[in-house]
Chain A
Amino acid sequence: DGGITQSPKYLFRKEGQNVTLSCEQNLNHDAMYWYRQDPGQGLRLIYYSQIVNDFQKGDIAEGYSVSREKKESFPLTVTSAQKNPTAFYLCASSIEGVSNQPQHFGDGTRLSIL
């Protein structure tokens, strides 16, 4: 879905460093999500936001932080507290956060440790 843009495509993190992954959507969707994907596992929810200036922890929020200052943007910061950050990170959005609306994904950011 061309309406969700994630950047960068690849990112490297040094020990003790915080890094921020960008997610922008022009679909006018209210809800946005961050998932982590590890090999051989399903997608796991990190954080989600149903509306501007509000967000909730998902299943694996420890070591991550988010903000939702604009409807179009939902950046994810991987902090130094996340000891195993190497993974493929996917951002998604949906029309609203309830009522069984399909989630649409961006192209992902692959994060590795230097």
Chain B
Amino acid sequence: GENVEQHPSTLSVQEGDSAVIKCTYSDSASNYFPWYKQELGKRPQLIIDIRSNVGEKKDQRIAVTLNKTAKHFSLHITETQPEDSAVYFCAASKGTYKYIFGTGTRLKVLA
């Protein structure tokens, strides 16, 4: 069935370093890939998304890359700051209501 695998489950980086989170999806028909940031007890917030007709998208310190052949997409955060500490979720969708979410990555930025 449809599946999104997300790695790593936890990630600790030093402040100022980069963080990379990778997701692999199973359904080749997927064409929309959002990333959400969720702080403890709060709502998931959309931080960046990418559509399948684009290979990379950047927004300040955040970027997402998509490799359709390998069916994986990655979130890159540069110059990490303590406020980047949160759980990050990826998702894949194929143009319908349904998102398939990854299991989340807990990012800890050490000051």
Contact = CB atoms under 8 A, between A and B. Distances in A.
Contacts of B96: 97-98
B2 to A, nearest CB: 10
A97 B101 contact: no
A43 interface: yes
A50 B44 contact: no
B70 to A, nearest CB: 21
Contacts of A42: 4, 6, 89, 91, 100-104
Contact of B43 (A33, A50, A90, A97): A90
Interface string B57-83: 000000000000000000000000000
B31 interface: yes
B67 to A, nearest CB: 19
Contacts of B41: 108, 110
A1 B43 contact: yes
Given A41-B103, A100-B32, A108 B97 contact: no
A89 to B, nearest CB: 11
B95 A100 contact: yes
Contacts of B45: 1, 105
Interface in A2-35: 4, 31, 33
B46 A43 contact: no
Contacts of A52: none
B32 A48 contact: no
B31 A100 contact: yes
Interface in A28-83: 31, 33, 40-45, 48, 50, 56, 58
B44 A90 contact: yes
Interface of B: 4, 6, 9, 31-32, 34, 36, 41-46, 49, 51, 89, 91, 93, 95-104
Interface of A: 1, 4, 31, 33, 40-45, 48, 50, 56, 58, 90, 94, 97-100, 102-108, 110
Given A1-B43, A43-B99, A103-B46, 4 more contacts: A40-B9, A48-B97, A102-B34, A102-B46
